[in-house]
């Protein structure tokens, strides 16, 4: 049984998803920093972290302390995409569910090197997307996000995660 929703958030989008999940499931959400003293070691958790180049930030530390039952990566890409990349980049076992959630983009919330890297990425990738003929709706959305910033956090994006959570708890109650 999931004892906590543990997360690492850089700009607040992952924390927002953790809060939504806590509200929907009744399971407390705590940052990884807080969890170290609030959640017993080897507890079963759902882990959420922000994505950087396919790596879910904080996951390596979380899996050393807890039993991670499922992994959610929050990034700029559309919800439900990049799953194979996330699994591969993070060394996630095949049996563990992996989810991706579209968060948002706000350069003003970033600090130091991350701010610089995302500024460069938004300019180069944004320019390339802006010049692309026949963009898909997903590419239009990504261009809008890189150009104007904004949040894509929504309860609708949690459909697959909530279905997994409900299935896990139904199995536990049936035993």
| pLDDT band for position 97 (cuts 50, 70, 90) | very high
Residue 53 burial class via C-beta count within 10 angstroms: exposed 0-12, middle 13-18, buried 19 and up? exposed
What is the separation, in whole angstroms, between the first and last Cα of the chain? 12
- Identify which of 64, 41, 46, 54 has the alpha carbon closest to the alpha carbon of residue 8: 46
- Identify which of 60, 79, 83 has the alpha carbon closest to the alpha carbon of residue 155: 79
Q: Which residues pair with 55 in a beta bridge?
A: 52
pLDDT of residue 174: 64
Phi, psi of 20 (to 5 degrees): -60, -45
The strand pair at 4-8 and 44-52 is best described as parallel
pLDDT of residue 159: 98
pLDDT of residue 93: 95
31-64, pLDDT tens digit by residue? 999 999 999 999 999 999 999 889 999 999 999 9
- Identify which of 138, 33, 46, 27 has the alpha carbon closest to the alpha carbon of residue 96: 46
Angstrom distance (rounded) from CA 139 to CA 13: 20
Q: How far does CA 127 lie from the centroid of its chain? A: 26
Q: The whole model's pTM is what? A: 0.87
Angstrom distance (rounded) from CA 126 to CA 38: 41
| pLDDT band for position 71 (cuts 50, 70, 90) | very high
pLDDT of residue 171: 65
CA angle 47, 143, 115 (to 5 degrees): 60
Chain mean pLDDT for the chain: 91
């Amino acid at each position: 049984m999931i004892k906590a929703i543990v997360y690492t958030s850089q700009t607040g989008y992952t924390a927002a998803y953790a809060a939504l999940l806590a509200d929907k499931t009744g399971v407390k959400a705590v940052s990884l920093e807080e969890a170290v003293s609030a959640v017993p070691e080897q507890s079963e958790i759902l882990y959420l972290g922000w994505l950087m180049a396919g790596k879910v930030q904080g996951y390596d530390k979380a899996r050393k302390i807890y039993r991670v039952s499922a992994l959610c990566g929050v990034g700029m890409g559309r919800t439900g995409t990049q799953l194979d990349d996330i699994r591969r980049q993070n060394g996630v076992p095949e049996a563990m569910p992996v989810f991706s959630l579209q968060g948002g983009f706000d350069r003003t919330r970033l600090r130091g090197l991350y701010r610089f890297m995302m500024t460069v990425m938004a300019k180069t990738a944004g320019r390339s997307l802006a010049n692309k003929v026949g963009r898909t709706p997903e590419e239009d959305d990504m261009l809008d996000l890189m150009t104007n910033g904004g949040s894509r956090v929504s309860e609708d994006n949690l459909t697959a995660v909530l279905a997994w959570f409900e299935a896990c708890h139904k199995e536990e109650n049936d035993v």
